[in-house]
Each structure stands twice: as structure tokens, then as C-alpha cells.
Structure 1
Amino acid sequence: MRNADMVAKPFEPIPQRARLSQRLQTAPGSAQSGLTLVELLVSMVILGFVLALVSEAVFQVSQVTRSAQAATASLTSRWSAGWAAGPMLANLVAPPEAAVRKAFEGSANELSAYTTLPVDGGQTGIQRFTMSLRPGDSGATQTELRVAVPTADARTSEPAAIGRFDGRAEFAYLDEAGAIVPVWPPMGVGVATSDPPADLPRAVIVRRPFSDELLMWYPYPGETRKPVPPSLPFESKP
């Protein structure tokens, strides 16, 4: 052996990246592992809870939607039956200044009166209005309930439809004795008695012509006569 072969070679350090590669290759269990069975079961349980909450929320939304649709249908049916006229006719009034013109006049197809709660809500206080029953767009198969109120220039506004009845319909009126009369004021009332006749009916009725079928009943619970003006003190008697 030659002396040149026995000369020690200088130490050369292994690069860090190479050492790390060797360590990963030789380390036991260095391969990438997946989910265990317990982790998979826990994930499925959590997913089940989430799906249950989502399905409950969807069910509640559908319930709210159905309730809203039912309420809308109920309001539509009530409007079609003429319920919008109820508050107006329940707040009738016979003002003392209505001496020249009667406080309430009604026939089978039209009535005119005073109210403190107009259907348009645009005027406070006492307002005169006219309500009528006219054939609808479908002719004899429907009857529209229309309302007109005076405008600022003392004219009558264009009648607005606030209700609709199937078939033909007409007005009738309930007097203080509980009798249904076709016109108001009733014919011949107050002639044979000393009591003044009532200015307002106890109820306005919408019925089928030539029939006892009642389509709508609008009661009036208030005072049916005009208020008596107070007497002046020291009033001279004739």
C-alpha cells in the first residue's frame, strides 16, 4: 500500500435537505394516514345534527309561508264580501245641520248618509258619502258595492268598488222594531204616533232580490235620532 492511499480525506458534511430526506425515508410510519373509524363516526354525527337543524328551519319557513298565504286569502275573501263597508256604516251619525237634507236616505240600489269614519281615511270629522250596488264587469253574475264621497269642489268623486257579491243584490234596512224595510225612511212611520221617527236604521242589509237570503249585515249600534238642541235660558213662550 502506498503512503498516498493512507492519507485521511477531509470530512465533508451532508447537506441538511439530504439528511431530512434520508430521515423521512428511514423513519417508521412516515406514510400519510387517513381518517380513523372513530373520526368518521363523529363527522357523520355532526353532519346529522346540521341536517336536522336545516330541515327544521325549512319546515318553519314553509309554515310561515302557508300562514301568510291563508291570511291573504282570508283578507281577499273578506274584501270581496264587502267587509270594508262595515266600519263606515257602524259609525253613522245624524248631524243637526242635516235638517234640509235627511241624515240617511236609502233605496234598494243606493243610500246616502253621514259617517265619522270614511273608507278612504282622507278626511277627519263628519263626511257625507253615497253607497250603491251596481252590476260588475261580469254583468248579472256579479254586483259591485261602490262608494263615492264629495270632493273639495263640492262634487261627487268617481265611485270606487269596495266589495263584490255573486249574483244580484239589493239594500234593505232594519228599523227600531226589528222589521226589514226596503227603503229609508220607512213609508208611513211616525204618522200615527207622537214619537219622532228614527233618523238612522239599526242595520244596513245586503240581500238577494225577491228572496230572504242575506248576503251581508252591517249593524249600527249608535243613537238613531238627531241630538236635541239645548233650550235657551229664559226662553219666551208664545
Structure 2
Amino acid sequence: MYEEWSSRVPGAVVWTRTAQGAGVLYPVLPDGCMDLLWTSGRLLVAGPDTRAHQAGEVPGTSWAGVRFPPGTGPALLGVPAYELRDRRVALADLWPGAETRRLTELLDEAEEPAAALEAVALRRAADADPPDPALRAVVDALDAGHSVAVTARSVGLGARQLHRRSLAAFGYGPKTLARVLRLQRALALARTGMPYSEVALAAGCADQPHLARELRELAGTTLGDYVAAANRETPQPSGSSTTA
């Protein structure tokens, strides 16, 4: 079962997940974000993904996480996003060992580990530099469907500058970020019950076959399989249905 709610860290999301029994697990799909993760005895960081991550947890394993919005994780976690692309690494590899041991013990003993993890993120956010407004504008422009060229001009950056800054902030270049954001738009629309042909156009794909190719390349699944897996772990939005 998966649950999430808005964090007190601006733009972030706090989430919890308990691995269910045998069967196909709900995959973690690319979203442009970085996460601070806790599971019993371990603190980790999830870097930005370019493909589906199948966690393969033992049934009953509990997780808590704080998901930082695109471009904000590196300042809070202290590492460029490209160094963690498609990786899960121990927090002790990034922060001092004594600090991570203390935090791990604190979270293991916490009555609500998700709240304790959010408190860690809040303290880091208070000490970190504020998010770069230009990078926030890049995310907004790409998520609105603007081209990379138009986005670069809108924030006053050349193509090479935008690519270099995107690697550090998002883990990959702006073209990949645009694809990931479009994927997330499609996934959200699909769970409302919108027919998949309409999902493709509304998300910014040329047609349904284009969306299907993007799902295979970025998520390793089909839209129908994603919706079925998501609905097994989280309640389906009321009044929704699926259309193949």
C-alpha cells in the first residue's frame, strides 16, 4: 500500500509504502525527482530515474520517503543530480558517517518514521540555498509542453548552458526531462479514466502509438499495466474507468 501527502518542505511530498504479497509490484517510474528514503536500519537517496525501478521488496517491508521536486534535491542532499542518475545509494556515502548513524537510529526508534524523516529534510532545507528560479521556470515551461529551444530563450540561457545546468539539477538534459514530465502527465490522466487515445494528445504526444513507445522506453510497461498496478497499491480515483 502506498500513501503520500504534501510536505512542509516547499513543493516536496512525503510518502509511505508497505510492500504487499507476491505478484507484480508497483514500479517506481521516472518523475524527475530525487528522494530521501528510510527503511528499517537504512537511510538512502534515490537519484533521478531514466527507466522504471522495480524495488523487489520483501512483502511487509515498510518504507518512508521525502520526494523533492525536480531541481531541488541536489542543494538539499549535497550532490549533483547526474552523479545519482538511476542509482540508490546509502546516505552514508554522501553525508558524514556519524551523522547518518545517528539519524538512522533516530528514525528506527521514531513512532512515525515519515514525520521524523520530513523533519530531517526540513532542517536541510533551512540550511540550503534557495531553489534557482530559472530552473523552476525550466520545469514549468517544459511541463507546459514548450520546446527546449523556447524554454532556453525564456530563461535567458544558451542551449549548452541549459544542458549543463540541467545535468546538475535534474540528472539529465532538458530533452529527457521534457519526456519524463510528459510521461507523468500521461500517467496522471490515465488514472482518471480518460480514454488512452485522448490521454496521448492531452499529454503532448503525437498519437497513441507515440505514447505507447514512450511508455516502453521510459517505463518498460504499457499504460494499461501501469494503471492496473497503481490501482492495486493506491485507491483508484472515484468515478474512473480504464479504456484500452
TM-score normalized by the length of structure 2 = 0.22
- Greater relative contact order: 1 or 2 (C-alpha under 8 angstroms, separation 6 or more)? 2
User: Rg larger in 1 or in 2?
Assistant: 1
Bigger share in helix: 2
